[in-house]
Amino acid sequence: MKRLCLALFFLTVGITTGVAQDAQSLSQAIRYIKLANTLREVDKSDESINLLKRALPAVKSTNLYWEAITNELLGLSYKDLKDSTTALQYLERARTQYLKLKYVASAWGVNEIVRNLSSKNLYAGIQIGSSTIKLAILKTKYETDFYEKDIKSTVDIANPAVTLFADASGSYRGGQDALRICLDSIQRYNIPNERVFIVLSNEVREELARTPERRKKLYDQLSRVLPNSNLKIDTSLTAPREAELFTVGAIPRKVWPTTSALDLGSNSTVGGYFDQGVNMHDKTFHPINIPFGTISLVNQIDSKGSLGMDAYRKEAQRVIKTLSDTQIAPQLNAGSRGLQQRKTVGVGGDIAWALIAYLHPEQAGVTAVPITLDDIERFKRLALTDYKELTKVNLNAIADPSIRNQAQQDIATIQAQLNEKQLIAGALWLEAIMKAYSTAAGPKRFVFVRNADIGWVTGKFLETINYEYESTIAKGALYTR
């Protein structure tokens, strides 16, 4: 390899010194272009640019195809040198030329590079829930005829009762402050308003629906934080719609035919699956909506908050057995045909995250982590009998410091979000759901999907841009927004 690099180096020197003039013919220009492409692969982008600029006069206005290739390679070489401004000039020129030639695939590929360089593949989502406000900065990547998310960063802001539901003074300042923090973070990425999505959860919407005056006041006060009228807060989410967006955002489309989704939230458990048609909007979603989650289960088990732990453990097992029979089984039986066809269940929610964080901290860097029935049995047993042992995790066996740090962060976040009673209720609930799924629709493979907690806001942006993309392509144009 070293000899090859040296040979290429001396060859390049020979060309750049011995051929001080531009290419004199198309065939000579093509040789320059071919060598320039090779030089890029051995990190000699400066020499590549020199050759390409010598080739350009011979192909310019005489052979549009080779001119487009030259402009594309110049753009890529400047991209290698981190000169995005010059790279974009050449790449946009190549994109236009490929379109003129009707080389759609080449134009599309260059267009995706342009979108990446100009940060047009950066999006932001803010989801306002009853317990947290979450911000996600996401990049798009085109995969299997569909844009998928690539999470760049997330911010999770605790949202206690005084944040969304007015404090004693009737103020929603906490919610305003949290939203302002999210918007300030977005500004640092220079993401335009049309690529920012703000969504109010169904749980909050339903809570505020009981008091229309508070709903209007909350919306008005949160809207004051928005920098201009182009940014809107989507308040239209229902439970089925939230379940649909969660599935879009958490489950890659390529596995929709084999995978259903399940989100165990604070006050509800939602999910479902898609019957997928030819394009993004030719699909049917079959929702699952059970009005219980980790917090509402605790309220159901111990409505007065007066039970001691021993009494709570017994009552929790009784209540969740009853809810399993009356709430979970009917929902799964109603949709059992579609569920039978989907042997994998993608699971999100704090309680599933807690299981992985406590039992498998070494998986902190893994996006999709299987959950076995043995895992849930151990998790439930420790939650019921040895809470301290469960939550005291030894991370010494994790050699990679980045994974160990992530595991520490995960455990700290879970401990801040789930107390002992919530953990017990959640563990019993997760076990009941997993067993009910397997009973109603045959054996299942359960997989924890990391970052599924931002599923429905990412679903909102994925649905939007994929619709825009398909609509644009149908018109014979390129998606450049």
Co-location of 310 and 443 in the same domain: yes
Please report whether residue 457 resides in a domain: no
Co-location of 74 and 214 in the same domain: no
Co-location of 252 and 309 in the same domain: yes
> What's residue 252's pLDDT?
86
Co-location of 277 and 143 in the same domain: no
Please report whether residue 428 resides in a domain: yes
> What's residue 44's pLDDT?
93
Tokens of 179: 């939203």
Please report whether residue 62 resides in a domain: yes
Please report whether residue 479 resides in a domain: no
Q: Read off the CATH number of the domain in which 157 is found.
A: 3.30.420.40
Of 187, 210, 237, the domain-final residue: 237
Of 195, 212, 237, the domain-final residue: 237
Co-location of 259 and 372 in the same domain: yes
Give me the number of domains the chain comprises: 3
**In 201-282, at which residue ranges do the beta strands (DSSP E only) sit?**
233-234, 259-264, 269-276
Ordered mean pLDDT values, 10 residues apiece, the chain (481 residues): 48 48 90 93 93 94 92 95 94 93 86 84 82 80 69 65 48 75 82 83 76 75 77 83 89 89 89 76 84 91 92 95 88 72 91 96 92 95 94 92 93 90 96 85 84 81 80 72 62
Co-location of 229 and 310 in the same domain: no
Please report whether residue 461 resides in a domain: no
Tokens of 35: 């060598």
Distances (CA, A) of 175 to 152, 165, 480: 24, 8, 34
Co-location of 321 and 425 in the same domain: yes
First to last CA, the chain: 42
Q: Dihedral angle at the C-alpha atoms of 175, 181, 185, 187, nearest 10 degrees? A: 80
* Residue 402 Rama label (left phi>0; alpha psi -120 to 50; beta): alpha
Is residue 125 packed enough to be buried (19+ CB in 10 Å), middle (13-18) or exposed (0-12)? buried
Distance between CA atoms of residues 65 and 87, nearest Å: 19
Co-location of 210 and 261 in the same domain: no
Do residues 143 and 90 make contact, with C-beta atoms less than 8 angstroms apart?
no
Please report whether residue 284 resides in a domain: yes
Which residue in the block uniquely carries the two structure tokens 């001691």?
308
Please report whether residue 343 resides in a domain: yes
Tokens of 182: 């999210």
Provide the CB-side half-sphere exposure for 377 (13 A, CA).
4
Co-location of 290 and 230 in the same domain: no
Tell me the residue length of the chain. 481
Distance between CA atoms of residues 461 and 99, nearest Å: 28
Please report whether residue 89 resides in a domain: yes
Q: Dihedral angle at the C-alpha atoms of 371, 375, 377, 378, nearest 10 degrees? A: -150
User: Which run of H or of E encompasses 200?
Assistant: strand 196-200
Co-location of 256 and 404 in the same domain: yes
Work out the number of other CB atoms within 10 angstroms of the CB of residue 330. Answer: 12
Do residues 345 and 262 make contact, with C-beta atoms less than 8 angstroms apart?
yes
Provide the CB-side half-sphere exposure for 324 (13 A, CA).
20
Q: Read off the CATH number of the domain in which 330 is found.
A: 3.30.420.150
Question: Whole domain around residue 63: which residue ranges?
Answer: 2-117
> What's residue 42's pLDDT?
92
Kindly state the greatest CA–CA separation across the chain: 91
Co-location of 254 and 275 in the same domain: yes
Co-location of 90 and 148 in the same domain: no
User: Which residue blocks in 272-369 are alpha helix, DSSP H?
Assistant: 294-301, 309-323, 329-334, 336-341, 350-359
Q: Read off the CATH number of the domain in which 106 is found.
A: 1.25.40.10
Distance between CA atoms of residues 446 and 437, nearest Å: 10
